[in-house]
Amino acid sequence: MSFARVRALAVVGTLVVAAAIFVIVALVKDRQSGPQAAEGCAEGAIVANAKLPTPEEVKLNIYNATGKPGLAGDVSKEFLARRFKEAKVQTAGPNPPVNKPGDEVAFIRYGPKTVGAAWLMRAYFLNQAETQFDKARQDDQVDVIIGGRFQQLPTTTEVNQAIGALGNPTLPEGTCASE
């Protein structure tokens, strides 16, 4: 082996060892602990769960506010095929679920326990759904009311892109993050 080759190997070896030392020092001295949660809630604020869940953790109530019979059942089957924990078809009862079903793609109603889940559902409607937060709601379900402008659910790629575009969930006014 020539002297030039030995010298090159020594230089490369020294650089690798130096890089390893810098990485180890950076990891050991790192003081970042991740996103900071609020230390305490303001007086009168409601604790809300803004953690973005996986579909397997989300429970849905699906309503059909259109004139298309069976649409809620079809949408429910789509959500179950996408591995949602629960997607129950609901009837509106004596009161319609929304006043103007033809004006929106969907309506998403949720409470403090499902802020992150509602954020995820916005992505499934490509951020074209109207959201309605109810601070008095105590269940862990999200109501999805299919509106008159609904065509179909987006592909998985489109949903992932919508999640990226939406970013992290934001808390509704009058709430603070749970630990």
pLDDT tens, residue by residue, 160-176: 999 999 988 888 888 88
Residue 41 counted as domain residue: no
For residue 101, pLDDT beyond 70: no
Mark whether 27 and 96 lie in a shared domain. no
Q: What is the pTM of this model?
A: 0.71
Mark whether 52 and 25 lie in a shared domain. no
Residue 76 counted as domain residue: yes
Tell me the per-residue pLDDT of 39-94, one tens digit each, with 9 for 90 and over. Answer: 567 777 888 888 999 999 999 999 988 888 889 899 999 999 999 988 888 876 54
Mark whether 86 and 164 lie in a shared domain. yes
Report the pLDDT averaged over residues 99-125.
87
Mean pLDDT, the chain, rounded, equals: 86
Mark whether 53 and 11 lie in a shared domain. no
Higher pLDDT pick, 13 / 101: 13
Q: Which of 14-28, 100-114, 119-133 has the lowest mean pLDDT?
A: 100-114
Residue 40 counted as domain residue: no
Q: Which of 17-21, 42-46, 58-62, 145-149 has the lowest mean pLDDT?
A: 42-46
Residue 7 counted as domain residue: yes
Mark whether 170 and 113 lie in a shared domain. yes
Residue 63 counted as domain residue: yes
Contacts of residue 144, defined as CB under 8 A and 6 or more positions apart, other chains included, come to 60, 61, 62, 63, 75, 106, 107, 108, 121, 129
Mark whether 79 and 7 lie in a shared domain. no
Mark whether 84 and 19 lie in a shared domain. no
Mark whether 6 and 79 lie in a shared domain. no
Q: Based on the structure, what is the number of domains in the chain?
A: 2
Structural domain that includes position 25? 1-32
Mark whether 27 and 56 lie in a shared domain. no
pLDDT at 38: 47
pLDDT at 34: 55
Residue 37 counted as domain residue: no
Residue 161 counted as domain residue: yes
Higher pLDDT pick, 95 / 134: 134
Mark whether 78 and 152 lie in a shared domain. yes
Locate 20 and state its tokens: 């390893």
DSSP code of residue 41? P
Q: How far apart are CA 127 and CA 124, in angstroms?
A: 8
Residue 86 counted as domain residue: yes
Mark whether 26 and 58 lie in a shared domain. no
What is the end-to-end Cα distance of the chain in Å, rounded?
61
